[in-house]
């Protein structure tokens, strides 16, 4: 089976501060990989290196190599915008475009990519909303503002917007942290459905969530305050939670630190 994402010796900086260092891992296609660890250890920073969102921040830069199959995403001449189209992202707080309808929120990326024609757009919007398990709830109010939906519905709308352009990979940065338990469960069920089509990487502070939804789990931590975050280990989720290789992983999972 081809490796979908391969990161090798990745380091990320904010100006002169090195936030993460020496991160190497492989993420299998059509799987859910969860990244866990204490606050400030670089999980979200690493996630943003995978689709070149990190470099949007002034003064930020990345060292190392990230391959999508065999393509170096940081190679000379690689278009960062095209990378972000291929590797979509869902953020911590739902961020539908506030002035746009539900329909236009989903269609926005399609139109940017030059897709035209009412029937084509209608079909793509319906397919994406069904993919996000939201169609039945919104099909009779597609012209209403996306910002008028509940928090959980808004997050599923953002997922529909992300998958509408048919990315290969979907990154999720704590997608349930702002949601109630019922909405969280809906997003978790959705992740399980979506991994049949997409490679998913999720950052979460909720270890129970990582255990429920992921196939593999990576644990990030800091050696000391002010030091860069590092990937301590990554393995099958069942192994990480039952028999981790590193004592630091076990201490974090059992609540002894972090």
CB 36 within 8 A of CB 220: yes
For residue 223, the model assigns a pLDDT of 82
Radius of gyration of the chain (CA): 18
For residue 256, the model assigns a pLDDT of 75
pTM for this model (two decimals): 0.93
Residue range(s) defining the domain that contains residue 214: 5-93+169-253
How many domains does the chain fold into? 1
Q: Is residue 44 part of a domain?
A: yes
Alpha-helical runs (H) found in 3-150: 43-49, 80-86, 102-112, 118-131, 135-138
β-sheet bridge partners, residue 11? 63
Q: Is residue 88 part of a domain?
A: yes
Q: Is residue 234 part of a domain?
A: yes
CB 136 within 8 A of CB 156: no
Q: Is residue 214 part of a domain?
A: yes
Strands (E), the chain: 5-14, 17-27, 32-36, 60-68, 71-72, 87-90, 169-173, 199-203, 216-222, 229-236
CB 62 within 8 A of CB 40: no
For residue 112, the model assigns a pLDDT of 84
For tokens 């919104």, name the residue: 138
Nearest CA-CA partner of 178 in 170, 169, 187: 187
With the C-alpha atoms ordered 190, 195, 38, 93, is the resulting torsion angle positive or negative?
negative
Structure tokens at 135: 């169609």
For residue 113, the model assigns a pLDDT of 81
For residue 219, the model assigns a pLDDT of 98
Query: CA-to-CA distance for 41 and 138, rounded, in angstroms?
Result: 38
Q: Is residue 241 part of a domain?
A: yes
For residue 2, the model assigns a pLDDT of 46
- Sequence-distant (6+) residues with CB within 8 A of 236 are 215, 216, 217
For residues 214-245, one letter each, b for 16 or more C-beta atoms within 10 angstroms of the residue's C-beta and e for the rest, the string is bbbbbbbbbeeeeebbbbbbbbebeebbeebe
For residue 4, the model assigns a pLDDT of 87
Q: Is residue 157 part of a domain?
A: no
Tell me the CATH number at 191: 3.40.50.300
Nearest CA-CA partner of 230 in 14, 34, 40: 40
Q: Is residue 158 part of a domain?
A: no
Q: Is residue 233 part of a domain?
A: yes
**3-class DSSP state of 158:** helix
For residue 178, the model assigns a pLDDT of 86
Tens-binned pLDDT, residue by residue, of the chain (258 aa): 445 899 999 999 999 999 999 999 999 999 999 999 999 999 999 999 999 999 999 999 999 999 999 899 999 999 999 999 999 999 998 899 999 999 999 999 899 888 888 899 999 999 999 999 999 999 999 999 999 999 999 999 999 999 999 999 999 999 999 899 999 999 999 999 999 999 999 999 999 999 999 999 999 999 887 899 999 999 999 999 999 999 999 999 998 765
């Amino acid at each position: 089976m081809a490796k979908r994402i391969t990161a090798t010796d990745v380091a990320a900086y904010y100006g002169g501060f090195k936030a993460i260092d020496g991160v190497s891992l492989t993420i299998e296609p059509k799987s859910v990989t969860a990244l866990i660890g204490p606050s400030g250890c670089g999980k979200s920073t690493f996630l943003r290196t995978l689709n070149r969102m990190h470099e949007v921040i002034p003064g930020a830069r990345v060292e190392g190599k990230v391959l999508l199959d065999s393509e170096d995403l940081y190679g000379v001449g690689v278009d960062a915008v095209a990378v972000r189209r291929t590797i979509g992202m869902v953020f911590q707080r739902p961020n539908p475009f506030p002035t746009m309808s539900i329909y236009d929120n989903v269609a926005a990326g399609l139109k940017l990519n030059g897709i035209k024609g009412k029937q084509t757009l209608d079909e793509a919007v319906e397919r994406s909303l069904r993919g996000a398990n939201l169609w039945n709830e919104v099909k009779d109010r597609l012209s209403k503002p996306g910002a008028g939906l509940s928090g959980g519905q808004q997050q599923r709308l953002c997922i529909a917007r992300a998958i509408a352009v048919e990315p290969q990979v979907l990154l999720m940065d704590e997608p349930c942290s702002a949601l109630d338990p019922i909405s969280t469960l809906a997003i978790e069920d959705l992740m399980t459905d979506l991994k049949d089509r997409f490679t998913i990487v999720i950052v979460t502070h909720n270890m129970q969530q990582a255990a429920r939804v992921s196939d593999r789990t990576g644990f990030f931590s800091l050696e000391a305050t002010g030091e860069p975050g590092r990937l301590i280990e990554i393995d099958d989720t069942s192994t990480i939670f039952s028999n981790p290789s590193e004592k630091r992983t076990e201490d974090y999972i059992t609540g002894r630190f972090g």
